[in-house]
A and B are shown apart, each in its own frame.
Chain A
Amino acid sequence: MAATGGPNDLSSEMELDAFRRLFPLRFHERHLTESIRPDGRPLGKARETTLALGAVASAHGSALAKIGCTTMLAAIKMEVMTPTVETPDEGGIAIDFHMPPICSPLVRPGRPAELAPVISKQLSDTILSSGMIDLKELCLVSGKAAWMAYLDIYCLDADGALFDAALLSAVAAFSHLQIPVVSLNDDGRVVLVSEDNTVAMKEKEPVNKERIKLTLNNIPFSLTCVLHKNYILADPTSEEESIMETFLTVVLDSSFQLVSLNKPGGPGLAHTSAIQDCIKLTRQRVKELQKILNEAISDMEVD
């Protein structure tokens, strides 16, 4: 590291770890002036992202997403329900985000994390308003039966950019989702057809002929950026989030339409140029994530 700084620059006289703990903000700013981050990334680069589909065998669709150390496990369970009177030919999606105490030292057992319901609400807003899933596809018998998709996302390790990882795992779980076969039984109720009694299935004529996949259009992807002075740090770790508290989350869909631009306050202000830069970074990130998702899907099909 270059020897710069004024007379009260203690970084050359102190041990690195001590400096990092005692003056976290200065430690980070020192890095920023060199256009690098403590973990060796350039400012605009996101952490390494991996995606594994089908992580939960008992669920109808599931995925495990990792962005750096942040880990999210998403699983979808399908259930048959009666659609509402207002929308007789639409199914439903219920999204819940959980932060168990395992994910972070800040979450205590018995006390739900403050952030969990907020992220949960943002996820359902984003997924439902993006039009990724046509709810009409979840209809079985108009006015009588439709699918309810229960999507549960568990945060296993919270190391910053929780929303990004949660959205990625949710989207991946939906692309892995296979809707099970159901048939009408003698009482006129919709029941699941288990795989081993295919004979029974032939007799009773299933409502949907085979396991189908949902068609996903305009898949949303997101990027969280930390704004600090004139610097923009893409995909912050939890340390960076706790020290530089202003962040901005941009969600773009695959055709680069803006699904959400969320800046929930914070000590800093976002100027137009910074917002534009964040959107630019998100565009690049959308391309990366799309590639990662497509690779994960094609890997799955090979198996």
Chain B
Amino acid sequence: MEVERKDGRGANQLRPMDHSRNVLNRAHGSANCSHGGTRVLAAVFGPKAGTKKNENPEKACIEVVWKPKTGQIGKPEKEFEMILKRTLQNICILTVNPNTTTSIIVQVVHDDGSLLPCAIHAACAALVDAGIPLKYLAVAISCCLTDSGQILLDPDKLEEQKMKAFVCLAFPCSVHSVLPEGSATAGGEPVAHGLITSLTQGVMTVDDYFRCLAQGRAAITPLSNILKKKLQSQSANNQSIAG
């Protein structure tokens, strides 16, 4: 049974994505990312000397500042800050710049659902733009479970509010890697199948969660290819300008 979506998309169809890097002049790295109507601007400053209090000085420290579109920072923003910080800790190589702090400022320009995945993509692109060493890119996707048990990918705001349950997942992007061959699998599964971040809301069965996980995983391969292509084409452009 197919659920009709307001904007005429199929259940597995994502909204058009767009990325652009180096959009801010003063920041060390910046990126603009949009998924349909959702739009996030991210800026990276650093690495700056010294870590914050209570952080391990033997590793690089990551600081995330989440700015909502309007109003003051509340509990949801604090939660997003924490999740984004820990997600970025996963993808950054923290031992290269010990005892430094890298700040990532995320400004929500417009929220039309699936905000966290968009913010993760923007933050990743900004880190790439700033030249911060990364293990891999993070690719994120959110999905919704309808009352009839169907899974819709990349929901917009209205769909998010109507749905029974909501899952947001982040995976590592498959790497053509500098890592030696063979380290790309862990426990019989490829690294790209490991979960960096999972956030769920609403009651569902355990099986439904694993269905969402499988669906999300299937969607990230094309998504990561788009992401990489965007980043590559822009760096080629930049080089030609520089040259």
Interface residues contributed by chain A, number (CB under 8 Å): 38
Question: How far is the CB of B39 from the nearest CB of chain A, in Å?
Answer: 23
The listed residue with most B CB atoms (<10 A of its CB), out of A131, A263, A265, A273, is: A265
* CB pair B197 A265 closer than 8 Å: yes
Considering the complex, which residues of chain A in the window 255-291 have a beta carbon less than 8 Å from any beta carbon of chain B?
A: 256-275, 279
Question: How far is the CB of A226 from the nearest CB of chain B, in Å?
Answer: 14
**B-binding segment of A13-21, A76-84, A114-122:** A114-122
**CA gap between A259 and B205 in the complex, in Å:** 8
Closest partner residue, chain B, to A97 (CB atom) = B75
* B172 within 8 Å of A (CB atoms): yes
Provide the residues of chain A in CB contact with B200, threshold 8 Å: 258, 260-262
* Known interface pairs A258-B203, A258-B209, A261-B209; A266-B75 also in contact (CB < 8 Å): no
* B194 within 8 Å of A (CB atoms): yes
* CB pair B187 A261 closer than 8 Å: no
Question: How far is the CB of B72 from the nearest CB of chain A, in Å?
Answer: 12
Provide the residues of chain A in CB contact with B79, threshold 8 Å: 117-118, 121-122
> CB within 8 A of B76: which of A106, A121, A270?
A121
* CB pair B82 A114 closer than 8 Å: yes
Interface residues contributed by chain B, number (CB under 8 Å): 39
* CB pair B86 A257 closer than 8 Å: no
**CA gap between A106 and B170 in the complex, in Å:** 29
The listed residue with most B CB atoms (<10 A of its CB), out of A121, A122, A273, A279, is: A121
* CB pair A263 B203 closer than 8 Å: no
> CB within 8 A of A258: which of B90, B189, B204?
B204
**CA gap between A275 and B159 in the complex, in Å:** 27
* A253 within 8 Å of B (CB atoms): yes
* CB pair A257 B201 closer than 8 Å: no
* CB pair A272 B193 closer than 8 Å: yes
Question: How far is the CB of B97 from the nearest CB of chain A, in Å?
Answer: 16
* B87 within 8 Å of A (CB atoms): yes
Provide the residues of chain A in CB contact with B74, threshold 8 Å: 117
* CB pair A269 B172 closer than 8 Å: yes
Question: How far is the CB of A183 from the nearest CB of chain B, in Å?
Answer: 36
Provide the residues of chain A in CB contact with B89, threshold 8 Å: 245, 265-267
Residue ranges of B at the interface with A (Cβ–Cβ < 8 Å): 54, 74-76, 78-79, 82-90, 170, 172, 186-187, 189, 191, 193-206, 208-210, 213
A/B interface sample: 10 pairs, CB < 8 A:
A129-B201, A253-B203, A260-B200, A263-B199, A265-B86, A267-B89, A269-B191, A269-B195, A271-B195, A272-B210
Closest 7 CB pairs of A and B: A269-B194, A265-B86, A265-B87, A121-B75, A117-B78, A270-B195, A263-B198
